[in-house]
């Protein structure tokens, strides 16, 4: 098993933390999607609750701003009947200089069972999973430019529900690949799920060096990049992560890479358009496309709740099994010692 698989899975191969799809196999990713599919139904019921996390405490720790991800995690935990605490980091001890570890240990002392962590530092969620919390489940809600596994998997859920199997699909990911934690995890997930034509479309300044080694093709022109694809995933320009100017201007970017109705006509006629949000209308996508019939942007938000419910319930049950196994091992060891 790879290190990433070892960290994220119990000894019996159940999900225990969810930090990135990297290292997880196809069976596990499909299990996450199947579980999420079953939760989509819950969102359509009059009473939108299931008791899977009753009596459990989930703490959403958002060290970085978020609207969609934070609110859908909160709703997902509530629909699973958990007690949910969302920490406003700006008014918390973190802004008084308390270290990440101290903050977590204090929360752990309150008997939290799961932390959902968003942090501007790449690797923050991994660090927490490795260091401090052997009996707490950690869900990565986005770390720096590194990973954003629940976003990538809700995107996979959207694709699978609208396009079926991944094998025959051509998928274009367009925009600021360099600063995007979403793109990396999308590539890992798409590859593991069997997609073989993954095209990255971006100006040279926003394309990571040697990214082809991940098994993708790179395109600096929209025309070749989205020609005949089934899925177009647009990404936001992550200006908050750009240390200097990577582009001449927003207008120039839209002229070359903006998704207009006319450009979209080069993809397959039934192609779907996705975007993790927040969208910048007139910079990476035209309103006629964002609000048009091929757009899945609002469907993605709804699927996000179901996907997050799936991951939270799976990680919690993995944690419980792990604890039971460890408790059994400890009691049989004590039995041996008393013989």
Q: Where does this chain bind ligand NCD (CB under 6 A)? A: 68-69, 142, 148, 151, 181-182, 236, 238, 276-277
Q: State the nearest-atom distance from the C-beta of 275 to ligand NCD, in Å.
A: 8
Q: Are 106 and 87 in contact (CB under 8 A)?
A: no
Q: State the nearest-atom distance from the C-beta of 157 to ligand NCD, in Å.
A: 15
Q: Are 85 and 60 in contact (CB under 8 A)?
A: yes
Q: Are 225 and 201 in contact (CB under 8 A)?
A: yes
Q: State the nearest-atom distance from the C-beta of 187 to ligand NCD, in Å.
A: 15
Judged by beta carbon, residue 8 or residue 69, the one nearer ligand NCD is: 69
Which of 30, 53, 49 is closest to 39 using CA atoms? 49
Q: Phi first, then psi: give them for residue 71, nearest 5 degrees.
A: -70, -35
Q: Helix and strand tally (H, E) in the chain?
A: 12, 9
Q: Which residues pair with 230 in a beta bridge?
A: none
Judged by beta carbon, residue 43 or residue 277, the one nearer ligand NCD is: 277
Which of 52, 50, 70 is closest to 61 using CA atoms? 70
Judged by beta carbon, residue 175 or residue 318, the one nearer ligand NCD is: 175
Q: State the nearest-atom distance from the C-beta of 64 to ligand NCD, in Å.
A: 8
* CB neighbourhood size of 276 (10 A): 26
Q: Phi first, then psi: give them for residue 97, nearest 5 degrees.
A: 95, 5
What span, in angstroms and rounded, lies between the C-alpha atoms of 227 and 187?
19
Judged by beta carbon, residue 185 or residue 286, the one nearer ligand NCD is: 185
Q: State the nearest-atom distance from the C-beta of 148 to ligand NCD, in Å.
A: 5
Q: State the nearest-atom distance from the C-beta of 38 to ligand NCD, in Å.
A: 23
Q: How many CA atoms lie within 13 A of 299 on its CB side?
A: 18
Separation in Å, CA 296 to CA 22, 156, 214, 268, 301: 25, 12, 26, 15, 9
Judged by beta carbon, residue 14 or residue 22, the one nearer ligand NCD is: 22
Q: State the nearest-atom distance from the C-beta of 279 to ligand NCD, in Å.
A: 9
Judged by beta carbon, residue 56 or residue 118, the one nearer ligand NCD is: 118
Judged by beta carbon, residue 14 or residue 64, the one nearer ligand NCD is: 64
Q: Are 247 and 279 in contact (CB under 8 A)?
A: no
């Amino acid at each position: 098993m790879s290190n990433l698989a070892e960290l994220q899975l119990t000894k019996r191969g159940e999900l225990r933390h969810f930090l990135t799809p990297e290292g997880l196999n196809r069976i596990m990713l499909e299990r996450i999607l199947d579980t999420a599919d079953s939760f989509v139904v819950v969102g359509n019921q009059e009473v939108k609750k299931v008791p899977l996390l009753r009596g459990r405490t989930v703490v959403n720790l958002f060290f970085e701003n978020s609207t969609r991800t934070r609110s859908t995690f909160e709703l997902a935990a509530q629909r699973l009947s958990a007690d949910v605490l969302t920490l406003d980091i700006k008014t918390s001890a973190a802004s008084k200089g308390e270290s990440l570890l101290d903050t977590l240990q204090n929360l752990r002392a309150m008997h939290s069972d799961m932390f959902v962590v968003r942090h501007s530092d790449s690797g923050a969620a991994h660090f927490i999973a490795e260091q401090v919390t052997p009996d707490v489940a950690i869900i990565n809600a986005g770390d720096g430019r590194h990973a954003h596994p629940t976003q990538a998997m809700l995107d996979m859920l959207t694709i699978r529900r609208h396009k079926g199997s991944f094998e025959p699909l051509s998928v274009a990911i367009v925009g600021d690949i360099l600063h995007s934690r979403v793109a990396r995890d999308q590539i890992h997930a798409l590859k593991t799920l069997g997609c073989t034509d993954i095209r990255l479309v971006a100006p040279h300044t926003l394309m990571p060096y040697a990214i082809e080694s991940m098994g993708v093709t790179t395109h600096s022109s929209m025309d070749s990049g989205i020609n005949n694809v089934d899925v177009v995933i647009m990404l936001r320009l992550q200006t908050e992560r750009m240390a200097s100017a990577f582009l001449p201007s927003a207008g120039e970017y839209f002229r070359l890479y903006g998704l207009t109705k006319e450009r979209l006509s080069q993809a397959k006629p039934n192609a779907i358009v996705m975007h993790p949000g927040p969208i910048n209308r007139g910079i990476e996508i035209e309103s006629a496309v964002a609000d048009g019939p091929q757009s899945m942007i609002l469907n993605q938000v709804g699927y996000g709740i179901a996907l997050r419910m799936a991951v939270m319930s799976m990680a919690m049950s993995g944690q419980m099994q792990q604890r039971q196994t460890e408790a059994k091992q400890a009691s049989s060891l004590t039995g041996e010692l008393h013989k």
